[in-house]
Amino acid sequence: MTWKTTDYCGWGRVHSAHGPLARPERASALATIAEKTPAPAVGMRRSYGDACLNDAGRMIDMTRMDRVLEFDPATGALHIEAGAQIGQILKIFAPKGWLPPVMPGTGFATVGGAIAMDVHGKNHHGAGSFGMHVTEITLMMPKGPKVVTPAKNSALFKATVGGLGQTGPIMSARLQMLRAKGDVMIVTERRVEAWNEFLALLDASEATYTVGWIDATARGDQLGRGILEEAETGAGLIPPAKRGKRIPFDAPDMALSPTVVRTFNAAYWRRVPDKGRTVVKHIDNFFFPLDKIHDWNRLYGKSGFHQFQCVVPIEAADDLRAMLERIAGSGLASPLAVLKRMGPGRAGYMSFPMEGYTLAVDFPNRAAARRLIGELEAATVVAGGRIYLAKDALAGPDTVRGMYPEFAAWSKTVQKADPDGHYMTDLVRRLKLRTA
């Protein structure tokens, strides 16, 4: 297997790495790597921070191992290689009446990455996290493939799902797909005036898929205003949106100045009529709205950006409101801010979800934004919540360990699976997750 020394970065473009990458195409090539030069695995590098980096070390790029191995059209049981992208699975199977069980905000995420981060989607309040629909994982260990299931090797399964890739490269997985009426979405949009109304609507929603865009610049009586989208699958002949042009250069700082962001957010909020509306969208336009803009992360300029995402328990909603007030008052937020209601479903020791509310906000990489995110992380601790490690680039070890009550069980299982630390990444080192 050929190793090629490469420079690469996370999606936020704040952290980068330099080191040898291998791109196996077959299980036999992956087995050779695992035996001779074990290393952590990576997919499309859509984690925002340093979870997908291994600076000065080796990394296995799994994106060429993306084959459908087996599919049962009667039950929706899918066996697929870990490098397959969620958007590819959607494109293949939605016309046949089956959807990936959980879809994050980008279709470029791979199956292996979705498992390693135990991603959540717009249906988390009902369907739970991605790992809850995984029935089997095949890990490529130094001694060969190892099959783990929730019933067999359950501790290793729980340490793998949401486990940041620390139990070894995922070669393939079996998923239980969800039935769908077709490959279009019937979407009801409504304008929401303020924070308390937003939470009440999220709590009362009976839709399969719900998501809220929130104006993170609005203050006072308008704090928390936004747009709620509720959706169901449907049948139709709506063509997908054409792929947008690639962002050709890093945008200047003024592109996301406070004035520009406030003006955009106000206009975006008003695009939905007072009485709301129902629209029909192609399925990938609903689930992955930003994917049609190639390299949209360059809009934040050459310094990159951070995303802060936390989840807090239902009873800590006032704490989350206080965080939003701090964000709105800072003048640092971008137009990309999301509010969702989460259910209790999580599948791994280090899985992010908990029942409550999750808020995600993007910030250009500036000193003031980094200080603000530190304050928001501290407020998350006080609220009894946790931050999402797929998005984090700034937290420290003292902050994170206390957020994940099953950390000790994860640590014990990982140490047994990888006693020599072959699968450590930059994030794991930064947070000292494998340090006693």
| Residues ≥6 apart with Cβ < 8 Å to 143 | 35
Token pair, residue 287, equals 């689930």
Under 8 Å between Cβ of 39 and 32: no
Under 8 Å between Cβ of 339 and 198: yes
Token pair, residue 392, equals 């984090």
- 197 with 133, same domain: the answer is no
Type of residue found at 385: G
- Residue 211: inside a domain: yes
Domains in the chain: how many in total?
3
Q: Which of 137, 163, 180 is the last residue of a domain?
A: 180
Confidence of residue 243 (pLDDT cuts 50, 70, 90): low
Res 249 pLDDT > 90: no
Token pair, residue 181, equals 């009426």
- 95 with 146, same domain: the answer is yes
Under 8 Å between Cβ of 153 and 50: no
- Domain extent, residue 325, equals 184-400
- Residue 107: inside a domain: yes
Res 245 pLDDT > 90: no
- 394 with 269, same domain: the answer is yes
Sign of CA dihedral 257, 259, 264, 266: positive
Sign of CA dihedral 143, 42, 151, 435: positive
Q: Which of 127, 158, 180 is the last residue of a domain?
A: 180
- 128 with 277, same domain: the answer is no
- Residue 420: inside a domain: no
Residue 256: the pLDDT is 87
Render pLDDT for 353-382 as a digit per residue (tens, 0 to 9): 999 999 999 999 999 999 999 999 999 999
Query: Which CATH number do you get for residue 112?
Result: 3.30.465.10
* DSSP per-residue letters across 313-369: EGGGHHHHHHHHHHHHHHT---S-EEEEEE-S---STT----SEEEEEEEEES-HHH
Strands 59-61 and 41-42: parallel
Sign of CA dihedral 267, 268, 274, 279: positive
Q: Is the whole-model pTM more than 0.85?
A: yes
- Residue 414: inside a domain: no
- Residue 174: inside a domain: yes
Token pair, residue 331, equals 């003048």
| Residues ≥6 apart with Cβ < 8 Å to 151 | none
Residue 14: the pLDDT is 97
Sign of CA dihedral 116, 120, 124, 130: negative
Q: What is the mean pLDDT of residues 407-415?
A: 98
- 191 with 290, same domain: the answer is yes
Res 253 pLDDT > 80: no
| Residues ≥6 apart with Cβ < 8 Å to 312 | 319, 320, 356, 357, 358, 380, 383, 384, 385
Under 8 Å between Cβ of 138 and 145: yes
- 156 with 231, same domain: the answer is no
- 221 with 330, same domain: the answer is yes
Under 8 Å between Cβ of 49 and 391: yes
- 246 with 336, same domain: the answer is yes
- 227 with 322, same domain: the answer is yes
Residue 343 burial by Cβ neighbours in a 10 Å radius (0-12, 13-18, 19+): middle
- 226 with 146, same domain: the answer is no
- Residue 83: inside a domain: yes
Render pLDDT for 196-241 as a digit per residue (tens, 0 to 9): 999 999 999 999 999 999 999 999 999 999 999 999 999 877 777 6
Q: What is the mean pLDDT of residues 403-420?
A: 97
φ, ψ dihedrals at 412, nearest 5°: -65, -45
- 8 with 130, same domain: the answer is no
**Which candidate, 282, 185, 291, places its Cα nearest to that of 239?**
282
- Residue 273: inside a domain: yes
Per the prediction, the chain carries an average pLDDT of: 96
Query: Which CATH number do you get for residue 253?
Result: 3.40.462.10
- Residue 325: inside a domain: yes
- 171 with 295, same domain: the answer is no
Q: Which of 45, 61, 77 is the last residue of a domain?
A: 61
